[in-house]
């Protein structure tokens, strides 16, 4: 049975984040032009001071645009994220809150500013969308009418709040793929009381998960023991221990672990399997006390299970196998990982 007191506390904390980081800044922006009190000689929209609230606002918009672009493409083969949620955030949709919503910020910023793609290497691919007023291509999600929220909009809000609370990492492409399965699990729970609070529950679960996994998204930590380079090399180190012949074969073909394990590790295999199978893998992964070491075991198991094809293939064939993994039975993979863990 769900602890209603705990749930109430979780929602109260999350709703405070919504007020401070979306509603209040949105009110200040919406008032611009109606009241000039927010524009002073010390702080105005053209103020170059890095501490300027306007500078922060425009910087936030860059992050928001990248989040918006990514969540619209979240699991495109599923209709779920396009559907309206049965529990839209009433705090956000309250008509008494006359403020600039995230939806408005995206629409206005897309028309007026440049689109900035930010990945782990920093800011890249600056392009001007002003050449076209087609904000939402046919292969991306369209915004629902006022008063409704699609599931992807809820995910967008979660990632934006996380980015605001964690300025050191903010948002990095790939986080959307990590939060997606978490939100889907809460938002499709058969208990409607759980579904009602899917947004807040997802936010705090995602925050806890990222507290353990965030170092793999920070480029400056790549070569440290907690960084992604060390983790990728750990897959090959384990493979060397478990299957020397296969390890030597991959080394001889100069197939480096970063060619395929970067995506496997940073996205927790969320791009390698169908969503129900990803959730099954995560169920086992998160129940293991040493979950990220078990993830390395799973990656090693995936290699061992296709060893015959890899030993017989050339560089091109093997790269295709590793970047489009052929085995879909995740139970077989998990069983092999457990076997490797037990030292069999």
The mean pLDDT of 103-131, rounded to a whole number, is 56
The greatest distance separating any two alpha carbons of the chain, rounded to the nearest whole angstrom, comes to: 72
What does the H/E/C string look like for the chain?
CCCHHHHHHHHHHHHHHHHHHHHHHHHHHHHECCEHHHCCCCCCCCCCCCCCHHHHHHHHHHHHHHHHHHHCCCCCCCCHHHCECCCCCHHHHCCCCCCCCHHHHHHHHHHHCCEEEEECCEEEEEECHHHCCCCCCCCCCCCCCCCCCEHHHHHHHHHHHHHHHCCCCCCCCCHHHHHHHHHHHHHCCCCHHHHHCHHHHHHHHHHHHHHHHHHHHCHHHCCCCCCHHHHHHHHHHHHHHHCHHHHHHHHHCCCCHHHCHHHHHHCCCCCCCCHHHHHHHHHHHHHCCCHHHHHHHHHHHHHHHCHHHHHHCCHHHHHHHHHCCCCCCHHHHHHHHHHHHCCC
Task: Give 307's pLDDT tier (boundaries 50, 70, 90).
Answer: very high
Pair 178, 43 in one domain: yes
Predicted local confidence at residue 31, as pLDDT: 58
pLDDT at 51 over 90: no
* Secondary structure (DSSP) of 32-54: BTTBGGG--SSS-TT---TT-HH
pLDDT at 175 over 80: yes
Kind and range of the H or E run holding 177: helix 175-187
> Could you tell me which residues come within 8 angstroms of residue 198 by beta carbon, excluding any fewer than 6 positions away?
85, 87, 154, 183, 186, 187, 189
pLDDT at 124 over 60: no
Could you give the count of Cα atoms lying within 13 Å of 210 in the half-sphere of its Cβ?
26
Spatial contact of 281 and 308, defined as CB atoms under 8 Å apart: no
pLDDT at 133 over 50: no
Predicted local confidence at residue 334, as pLDDT: 97
The mean pLDDT of 302-320, rounded to a whole number, is 98
Pair 326, 304 in one domain: yes
311 is a domain residue: yes
126 is a domain residue: no
pLDDT digits (tens, 9 = 90+) for 229-263: 999 999 999 999 999 999 999 999 999 999 999 99
pLDDT digits (tens, 9 = 90+) for 3-15: 554 566 677 889 9
The mean pLDDT of 43-48, rounded to a whole number, is 51
Among 180, 147, 206, smallest CA distance to 78 is for: 180
The mean pLDDT of 286-297, rounded to a whole number, is 92
Q: Six-digit token pair at 262?
A: 């970067």
123 is a domain residue: no
Q: Six-digit token pair at 196?
A: 């009602």
CATH of the domain at 280: 1.10.472.80
Pair 255, 167 in one domain: no
d(CA 275, CA 23): 33
Predicted local confidence at residue 4, as pLDDT: 53
pLDDT at 98 over 70: no
Pair 223, 166 in one domain: no
127 is a domain residue: no
121 is a domain residue: no
The mean pLDDT of 22-36, rounded to a whole number, is 61
pLDDT at 46 over 70: no
Task: Give 141's pLDDT tier (boundaries 50, 70, 90).
Answer: low
Domain range for 179 is: 2-110+141-215
Pair 101, 179 in one domain: yes
Pair 206, 101 in one domain: yes
pLDDT-wise least confident of 158-167, 177-186, 217-226: 217-226
The domain boundary residue, chosen from 215, 240, 272: 215
Task: Give 72's pLDDT tier (boundaries 50, 70, 90).
Answer: very high
Pair 191, 89 in one domain: yes
Predicted local confidence at residue 11, as pLDDT: 78
Highest mean pLDDT of the ranges 48-62, 120-134, 328-342: 328-342
Pair 30, 92 in one domain: yes
Pair 178, 224 in one domain: no
Task: Give 54's pLDDT tier (boundaries 50, 70, 90).
Answer: low
Q: What is the C-alpha radius of gyration for the chain, rounded to an integer number of angstroms?
A: 22
d(CA 58, CA 47): 11
The mean pLDDT of 315-326, rounded to a whole number, is 97
CA 247 vs. chain centroid, Å, equals: 31
pLDDT-wise least confident of 110-119, 176-185, 285-294: 110-119
Model confidence, pTM: 0.83
Predicted local confidence at residue 69, as pLDDT: 93
d(CA 171, CA 167): 8
d(CA 319, CA 257): 11
d(CA 175, CA 156): 11
The domain boundary residue, chosen from 215, 249, 271: 215
Predicted local confidence at residue 306, as pLDDT: 98
Task: Give 57's pLDDT tier (boundaries 50, 70, 90).
Answer: confident
117 is a domain residue: no
pLDDT at 335 over 90: yes
pLDDT at 303 over 80: yes
pLDDT at 106 over 80: yes
Kind and range of the H or E run holding 31: helix 24-31
Spatial contact of 264 and 177, defined as CB atoms under 8 Å apart: no
Task: Give 119's pLDDT tier (boundaries 50, 70, 90).
Answer: low
The mean pLDDT of 192-221, rounded to a whole number, is 90
The domain boundary residue, chosen from 215, 236, 257: 215
118 is a domain residue: no
Pair 250, 326 in one domain: yes
204 is a domain residue: yes
Pair 241, 178 in one domain: no
Pair 34, 159 in one domain: yes
Number of domains in the chain: 2
């Amino acid at each position: 049975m769900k602890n209603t007191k705990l749930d109430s506390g979780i929602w109260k904390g999350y709703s405070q984040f919504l007020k401070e980081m979306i509603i209040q800044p949105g009110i200040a922006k919406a008032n611009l032009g109606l009241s000039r009190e927010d524009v002073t000689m010390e702080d105005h929209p053209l103020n170059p001071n890095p501490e300027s609230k306007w500078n922060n606002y425009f910087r936030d918009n860059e992050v928001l645009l990248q989040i918006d672009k990514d969540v619209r493409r979240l699991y495109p083969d599923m209709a779920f994220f396009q559907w309206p949620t049965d529990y839209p955030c009433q705090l956000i949709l309250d008509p008494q809150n006359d403020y600039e919503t995230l939806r408005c910020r995206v629409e206005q910023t897309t028309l007026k500013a440049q689109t900035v793609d930010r990945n782990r290497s920093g800011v890249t691919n600056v392009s001007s969308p002003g050449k076209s007023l087609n904000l939402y291509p046919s292969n991306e999600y369209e915004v629902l009418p006022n008063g409704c929220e699609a599931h992807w909009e809820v995910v967008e809000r979660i990632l934006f709040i996380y980015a605001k609370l964690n300025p050191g990492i903010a948002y990095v492409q790939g986080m959307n793929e990590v939060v997606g399965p978490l939100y889907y699990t809460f938002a499709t729970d058969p208990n409607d009381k759980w579904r009602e609070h899917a947004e807040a529950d997802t936010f705090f679960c995602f925050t806890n998960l990222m507290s353990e996994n965030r170092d793999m998204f920070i480029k400056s930590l790549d070569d440290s023991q907690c960084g992604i380079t060390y983790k990728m090399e750990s897959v090959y180190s384990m493979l060397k221990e478990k299957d020397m012949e296969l390890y030597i074969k991959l080394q001889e073909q100069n197939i480096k672990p970063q060619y395929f394990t970067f995506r496997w590790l940073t996205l927790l295999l969320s791009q390698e399997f169908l969503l129900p199978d990803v959730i099954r893998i995560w169920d086992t992964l998160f129940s293991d006390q040493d979950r990220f070491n078990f993830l390395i075991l799973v990656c090693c198991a995936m290699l061992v299970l296709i060893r015959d094809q890899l030993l017989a293939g050339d560089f091109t064939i093997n790269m295709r196998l590793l970047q489009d993994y052929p085995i879909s039975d995740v139970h077989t993979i998990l069983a092999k990982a457990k076997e490797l863990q037990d030292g069999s």
